[in-house]
Amino acid sequence: MSDAIDPLKPKYNRVLLKMSGEAFGHGGQSGISISETMGIAHQIKRVVDRGVQLAVVVGGGNILRGAQFSAKGEVIKETTAHYMGMLATIMNGLALQEVLESLGMQTRLQTALRVDSVSEFFIRRRAIRHLEKGRVVILSGGTGNPHVTTDTAAALRGIELEADIILKATRVDGVYSDDPEKNPHATRYDRLTYDRVFKEGLRVMDLSAIDLCADKKLPILVFNYKKEGNIEKAIAGHPIGTLVTA
Ligand code: UDP
């Protein structure tokens, strides 16, 4: 038997990965890019091949965000716009499912809104069973309720599915003191407490999501998924991104 230490040995058994809708578009553009989705899928495959149980909550911002869309005019009610946003996340979920399956992976798409022709309705026990069988569980439709975002869905599902951690995939290397894309002097935090996130109003996830995670002591790692292999490194517990804990 080899004594070699595997630097990518998973530290977490069950992980909730939150992918924003913009991850599915090319360079922050709207719509769905197959090559961008393929990039995510390859990273997912690497961790699932190592035995990690992975649930993915997908956003819809590459297609439509309810608050922004309804702000454009008074014709479409905000609540309706949020339902449209939830439907957008289902499109991303379907794309991710097909791309993962093109790599030979087993998947299930569960949605918080009923779309029986294309997905299962979210049922916690069934989702857990899929995870135990090594299937990637893609969770679309957010929470199924308007006026919140998929960050809240990620926190809720992370708690329900008893995930060990929430990985919040972003285009930046973690949480900064200011917007690093605008302020070159912004500094990155390696670790934060939920309290500090609240007190300083740091942009980690929506406050309702942080509140849920803080209450249940569910750690959140904010990291840059654009760097190849970072999902694997995050799950191996490498010191990348910003870890938010109690
Ligand atoms: N949304 C909602 N309830 C939810 C989750 C999402 O109403 O539980 C709507 C909301 O309008 C949101 C849109 O769906 O703006 C897309 O989700 P989100 O903005 O979280 O996507 P992301 O920013 O992650 O791409």
**What counts of helices (H) and strands (E) characterise the chain?**
8, 11
Distance 81 CA to ligand 1 centre (A): 10
pLDDT at 31: 97
> Which candidate, 1, 34, 10, places its Cα nearest to that of 164?
10
For residue 23, being part of any structural domain is answered with yes
CA angle 62, 67, 71 (to 5 degrees): 110
Distance 67 CA to ligand 1 centre (A): 9
Q: Specify the pTM.
A: 0.96
For residue 168, being part of any structural domain is answered with yes
Residue 30 sits in a domain of what CATH number?
A: 3.40.1160.10
For residue 165, being part of any structural domain is answered with yes
Out of 86, 122, 139, 167, mutate this one to test ligand 1's pocket (max ligand atoms within 8 Å of CB): namely 86
Structural contact between residues 222 and 36, judged by C-beta atoms closer than 8 angstroms: no
pLDDT at 63: 97
For residue 5, being part of any structural domain is answered with no
pLDDT at 1: 55
pLDDT at 74: 76
Tokens of 146: 């308007």
For residue 1, being part of any structural domain is answered with no
- In which domain, by residue range, is 104 found? 14-245
Count of domains observed in the chain: 1
Alpha-carbon distance 96 to 90, whole Å?
10
Alpha-carbon distance 59 to 168, whole Å?
11
Residues 6+ apart with CB under 8 A from 132: 53
* Pocket lining: 233 vs ligand 1, CB cutoff 6 Å: no
* Pocket lining: 20 vs ligand 1, CB cutoff 6 Å: yes
pLDDT at 2: 61
SS3 159: helix
Tokens of 14: 């069950």
Tokens of 125: 């026990």
**Would you give per-residue pLDDT tens digits along the chain (246 residues)?**
567 889 999 999 999 999 999 999 998 889 999 999 999 999 999 999 999 999 999 999 999 999 999 987 779 999 999 999 999 999 999 999 999 999 999 999 999 999 999 999 999 999 999 999 999 999 999 999 999 999 999 999 999 999 999 999 999 999 999 888 899 999 999 999 999 999 999 989 999 999 999 999 999 999 999 999 999 999 999 999 999 999
The helix-helix angle for 78-102 and 34-48 (nearest 10°) equals 60
Residues 6+ apart with CB under 8 A from 220: 165, 166, 168, 204, 205, 210, 213, 243, 244
Residues 6+ apart with CB under 8 A from 54: 14, 15, 17, 44, 47, 48, 131, 136, 137
For residue 9, being part of any structural domain is answered with no
For residue 155, being part of any structural domain is answered with yes
For residue 108, being part of any structural domain is answered with yes
